[in-house]
Amino acid sequence: MSLTHTFHIPVMGTGHSIDTPIRVAPWGIDSVISIVDDLLVERIRKHYATEYNLPFSQIARNAYDGRARRITAYLDTVQQVVQTRFDELKNSTFSEGSPKHDYFAMLPDMSPLKAMWKNMMTESDPAVVAELEQQLTQSMKPGSIDVNIMSKVDFLANDKLGKPLSSEFSDACAALRGYAESVVESAVILSAGFNPRLYGYIANFPGFYRDTTGHIKKKIVLKVSDFRSALIQGKFLAKYGLEISEFRIESGLNCGGHAFYSDGRLLPAILEEFRDKKDQLNSQFRPMVVAFYEKMGWEYPIDKVEAAPKITIQGGIGNYAETLRMLNEYDVDATGWGSPFLVVPEATCVDDETLQQLINAGEDDLYLSNVSPLGVPFNNLRMSGSEKWTSARKDTDKPGSACPKGFLKTNTEFTESPICTASTQYQLLKIAEIQKSDASVEKKSAQRDLVLDKACLCDHLGNGSLIKLGIIKEHRGPQAVCPGPNLAWFKGPYSLRQMVDHIYGRGESLTPENRPHVFAKELEMNVDYLDRIMLLSDLNEPKTHKYLLNVHKNLLEGLDICEKLAGETPYKGENLDSLKVAVERARTKLEVLMQPLMATA
């Protein structure tokens, strides 16, 4: 993480941030590409290789180690294009309206480079101006081209004889290898859970270790939802001498894409624990890392190593006041801004129809859905191209998808080899089973709807980018999109400069004053989700009963913290009144929700 800026743009589906580094890295902004879909990245690589007259030789779908090779080739292409665009920007003039002027104008006001640039702009001595221009130009650097790997999306295919391939050819390991062998020096963000096979495999690549100067070419960032998870995963990696450069905390529900529920633990409580125990992240990992280097006979440059991993936060942040709260009160190093950038065409690859839908979307249009084949809640847009396509197939003799890519094959209810729950094959088998059951007509209908809701996210999440870049026609690809609920308050379309100025609190805010506080929205979503769980749960089942009581306990602890916070002095533009209202509503709703649970105690 370069920290030229104090924010980054997280991954947004497989397609919507697929070329975001090409768009924003020349301006020093860090962003994240999903590399789960190697077939998509191959098509995007061809597009940019053609546009920039770069050599292109297609890597066939059935080529040996094709997944890793496609990812490597794409990241190398992105690096070339970013460097080309950055060099053009760097060689432009400092005149107002030029790309170079915008580079410095967009920097955070606290940046030393920004201060130097302002001095240069007001300096009258030509010799001093020339010296400052030279210093500023030499100080410029592009943003980081980071990648995201969903650790649990790790399908292991069979060879031609039907036997499982060796583990390094699993989807996650192959993706990691593709990143490790690329020329990109950046970070891999590991998300969606702990995968020991993948984590152990990282140790095969020297780029993830420090050289004698203390530099790490390939950094590791862990996306986590709580401190305990950070410690467990960090210790596992430390045994291999691998260091965490950053822990990226994300709201469990108030985020884009897959929503991994944090069992009622609220962000204020999670952030407090990270702030108060931050030193442990270094004291517990560092001795293990040093011991590994000693065992290997390597030099560990202890005097050239930062004191502790960076801590960042993302998910639902919507204005500068909330950013200040995160930076100042919780001591985080930076914030992540994802969904708002979906309505910034300069930053993300969203087709025109979906972009307009996002601009017009209200709170009811952005919802926590059941569409993911992973069985994890998925933040979704009503009436997207994907939703309409999936719905139209429900009453046909071939519901679901042909499963053209197969990245989310995890189910073995009916087959020896895993298949996807969004596939036609699975849905026909499951519906037949439901129809043979003794359940009531109403229950069968409800169960059938849950099966048919599943969408082909592997394919659909990439289609918007293919349409936007002119690679496919709109009618050839149903478009899925994964905005967080925060997007309802951003209308757009905005320029990159407008969004960056909004993030840093410069000029008129892009969101209204009555937008709920990030913590208020998260609290509301957590209580609503508990309601959803309880409706589907057997409250008399001991494990379920114990789990729900723990969720309730976590929520009460978070409520107390939120209530205290709501009484503090707000930063300018911080809607703490909405948090106070949210706490009162949550306490009332929780009291009603818990009555049947307490009755079964």
Over residues 573-598, the pLDDT tens digits come to 999 999 999 999 999 999 999 988 88
Helical pair 385-392 and 457-468, crossing angle rounded to 10 deg: 130
Say if CB 188 and CB 220 are below 8 A apart.
yes
Going by DSSP bridges, is the β-strand pair 366-369/378-381 parallel, antiparallel, or unpaired?
antiparallel
For residue 350 the two structure tokens come to 């969203």
Per-residue pLDDT, averaged over 241-265, amounts to: 94
Q: Who's near 151: CB < 8 A, 6+ residues apart?
A: 172, 190, 191, 192, 193, 194, 195, 198, 199
Q: Is the pLDDT of residue 534 over 50?
A: yes
pLDDT tens string 414-450 = 998 899 999 999 999 999 999 999 999 999 999 999 9
Per-residue pLDDT, averaged over 213-218, amounts to: 95
Query: Higher model confidence: residue 514 or residue 538?
Result: 514
pLDDT tens string 282-311 = 889 999 999 999 999 999 998 888 778 999
Q: How far apart are CA 434 and CA 556, in angstroms?
A: 39
pTM: 0.95
Handedness of CA 502, 507, 510, 515 (dihedral sign): positive
Per-residue pLDDT, averaged over 216-231, amounts to: 95
Q: How far apart are CA 70 and CA 58, in angstroms?
A: 9
Q: How far apart are CA 186 and CA 144, in angstroms?
A: 6
Q: How far apart are CA 289 and CA 299, in angstroms?
A: 11
Q: Is the peptide bond before 399 cis (omega within 30 degrees of 0)?
A: no
Supply the pLDDT for residue 161: 72
Residue at 250: amino acid letter: E
Burial 282-310 (b: 16+ CB within 10 A, else e): beebbebbbebbeeeeeebeeeebeebbb
Say if CB 483 and CB 381 are below 8 A apart.
yes
Say how many C-beta atoms besides its own lie within 10 A of residue 519's C-beta: 27
Per-residue pLDDT, averaged over 9-23, amounts to: 97
Q: How far apart are CA 99 and CA 77, in angstroms?
A: 22
pLDDT tens string 354-394 = 999 999 999 999 999 999 999 999 999 999 999 999 999 99
Say if CB 573 and CB 513 are below 8 A apart.
yes
Per-residue pLDDT, averaged over 169-191, amounts to: 97
For residue 468 the two structure tokens come to 């936007």
Burial class (CB in 10 A: 0-12, 13-18, 19+), 63: exposed
* Triad 59, 65, 70: Cα angle to 5°: 40
Residue at 303: amino acid letter: D
Nearest to 348 by CA among 8, 574, 18: 18
Q: What is the chain's mean pLDDT, rounded?
A: 95
Supply the pLDDT for residue 399: 97
Q: Is the pLDDT of residue 518 over 50?
A: yes
Nearest to 67 by CA among 146, 144, 155, 199: 155
Q: What is the dihedral of CA 418, 419, 425, 427, to 10 degrees?
A: 110
Burial class (CB in 10 A: 0-12, 13-18, 19+), 522: buried
Supply the pLDDT for residue 344: 98
Burial class (CB in 10 A: 0-12, 13-18, 19+), 402: exposed
For residue 377 the two structure tokens come to 């809640």
DSSP state of 382: T
Residue 451 binned pLDDT confidence (cut-offs 50, 70, 90): very high
Q: Where in the chain is the domain with CATH 3.20.20?
A: 7-341
Residue 1 binned pLDDT confidence (cut-offs 50, 70, 90): very low
Burial class (CB in 10 A: 0-12, 13-18, 19+), 57: exposed
Say if CB 487 and CB 381 are below 8 A apart.
no
Supply the pLDDT for residue 308: 81
Q: How many residues does the chain have?
A: 601
Say how many C-beta atoms besides its own lie within 10 A of residue 127's C-beta: 8
CATH node for 7-341: 3.20.20
Nearest to 333 by CA among 247, 219, 229, 234: 247
Least confident residue range of 34-43, 270-279, 302-311? 302-311
Per-residue pLDDT, averaged over 45-54, amounts to: 98
